[in-house]
Amino acid sequence: MTQSSRGAARPPLTLLQIVVIIGIAAALLIMLDFNRRQAEAQRLEADRDHLATEVADLAYANAVLATQVAYATTDAAVIAWAHEQGKLVQPDEVLVVPIVPTAAATSAPAQPPPPPAPETWVLWWNLFFDLRPPITP
């Protein structure tokens, strides 16, 4: 066989093979884009659920605060504050401030004296012979 017969026997790629390769590459790109879009959609749904929960919590807090504001503007709230924090009384009332007795300061229990320090030669002896000191209660 000569070189001309080897080259003429088979072309490098046929038109059908080129179309199939392009189709596979396009399908791969489409699948990757679809996967990216699906992941993005799942992330957005999770964010939506999280934000819906946060909005519900804030709406509840708003309702609680609106209730507190409504109570704070009533006469009953003003009278309660005047009696409790302001120490104010109405003309026909008498202010009574209870005095709470405080407990006498108790002294802390006496600490037992520390055990006497061992002799220096005993410490060196234990270190030299790797002895552990006895545990005393």
User: What distances in angstroms separate CA 9 from CA 5, 60, 94, 97, 106, one per listed residue?
Assistant: 6, 81, 120, 115, 111
First CA to last CA across the chain, in angstroms?
103
Nearest to 45 by CA among 37, 33, 35: 37
pLDDT in tens, the chain (137 residues): 455 555 566 778 889 999 999 999 999 999 999 999 999 999 999 999 999 999 999 999 999 999 999 999 999 898 888 888 888 888 888 887 788 888 776 777 788 888 888 888 888 888 788 776 566 55
pLDDT score for 107:
73
Q: Is there a contact between 82 and 88 (Cβ–Cβ < 8 Å)? A: yes
126: number of Cβ within 10 Å: 14
How is the chain split into domains, by residue range? 12-91
pLDDT of residue 79: 86
Taking the C-alpha atoms of residue 51 and residue 57, their distance in angstroms, rounded to an integer, is 10
Q: What is the DSSP letter of 69?
A: H
